[in-house]
Amino acid sequence: MSKTSRIAGAVLGVVALTGSLAACGGDSLEKEKGGSESGGGSGKKGALVVGAASFTESKVLAELYAQILADAGYKTSVTTVKNRELYEPSLEKGEIDVVPEYAATIAEFLNAKVNGPKAPDEKPVASGDVDATVAALTKLAEPRGLKVLPAGAAVDQNAFAVSKEFAEKNNLKTLSDLGKSKLKVKIAAGDECEVRPFCAPGLKKTYGIDVTGIDPKGVGTPQSKQAVKDGADQLVLTTTTDAVLDGLVFLEDDKKLQNADNVLPVVNAKDAGSKEIADVLDKLTKVLTTEDLAELNRKVDAERAKPEDAAKAYLESKGLLKK
């Protein structure tokens, strides 16, 4: 899922916060608390429900959290909830204990929830500075009974790629390089790219890129990527954790146009706010990279691995499971 989509959901979906979890299709989260097939652990230290949104990366991250916590002695289960509008209130209530989140997106979600739906546009709290973004998030989260744990290097945010041939021919490594080149650029993306501040308007304002139009083939779709490979378009909007870049290369967002959507755990402070839980999750946070996330996504989406299996193999490869 792209940051474009997550931000849109975070802001536009705030009005749906009154929706019940039963509307997700399934039993209540309280019923789930006993565990699920993908959970485990001895339970000596208590039970924890890890929440996931309904897209691949979130499911994998939830499995990583659940398995490393299970290995530390907690009885864990993973429950997938359709979207943030439904799982965030349940995190506040303690029906979910831990959720993998994205710093800037959850910060603006809470900004909209606390200060009104226009706040993310009129008075945004997120930026390209991860420390400042996490500080703003913490300030919004704590009064709601949520504890924000440290962010890591892994980040899933909008990213722009060009064909390797185009990059080499024009000596492009950064978005600044593209702006300085004065080349005319058509972007393969969703049609909302034309108005979103993190897409065409931001590329023009921050980098001086000469955007001539949007080819509405979608965010990171095979059709969008092919249009760039074929030379019909010059730039494709995808995400930093896109592992299927055959023939394409990212251009570095060197002026930090994109907000800091670094991955971090958010927990219910009352039920999962202990130092031990934070320390266990921090072991993963410190190891996980953007490239790792991209590869995990690829294994699930391209190789059809189960999220729990991909997570287990990763944790074992990093020496993060005792078993």
pLDDT at residue number 4: 43
154 band by pLDDT with thresholds 50, 70 and 90: very high
Residues 6+ apart with CB under 8 A from 98: 48, 49, 50, 51, 65, 69, 265, 266, 267, 268, 272, 277, 281
Over residues 226-254, the mean pLDDT reads 95
Over residues 199-209, the mean pLDDT reads 97
Tell me: the pLDDT tens digits for 101-136?
999 999 999 999 999 999 998 999 999 999 999 999
Q: C-alpha distances in angstroms, 50 versus 99, 133, 272, 297? A: 6, 23, 10, 19
* Backbone φ/ψ region at 221: left (φ over 0), alpha (ψ -120 to 50), beta: beta
Tell me: the pLDDT tens digits for 276-287?
999 999 999 999
Does domain 3-155+260-317 sit in CATH 3.30.470.30? Answer: no
CB neighbours (10 Å) of residue 310?
A: 22
Given this chain, do its domains 3-155+260-317 and 158-251 carry the same CATH topology? yes
- Is residue 183's pLDDT more than 80? yes
Domain boundaries, the chain: 3-155+260-317, 158-251
Q: Which two tokens stand for residue 205?
A: 């304002």
If you count DSSP H runs as helices and E runs as strands, how many of each does the chain have, helices first?
15, 10
Q: What is the pTM of this model?
A: 0.83
Length reported for the chain: 323
Q: C-alpha distances in angstroms, 312 versus 28, 157, 210? A: 27, 25, 45
* Alpha helices (H) in 123-207, listed in sequence order: 130-141, 164-170, 175-181, 200-207
Tell me: the pLDDT tens digits for 31-70?
333 334 456 776 688 999 999 998 899 999 999 999 999 9
Distance in angstroms (rounded) separating the CA atoms of residues 32 and 78: 8
pLDDT at residue number 39: 63
More confident residue, 79 or 28: 79
Residues 6+ apart with CB under 8 A from 318: 287
The CATH number of 158-251 is which of 3.40.50.12780, 3.90.76.10, 3.40.190.120, 3.40.50.2000? Answer: 3.40.190.120
- Is residue 152's pLDDT more than 50? yes
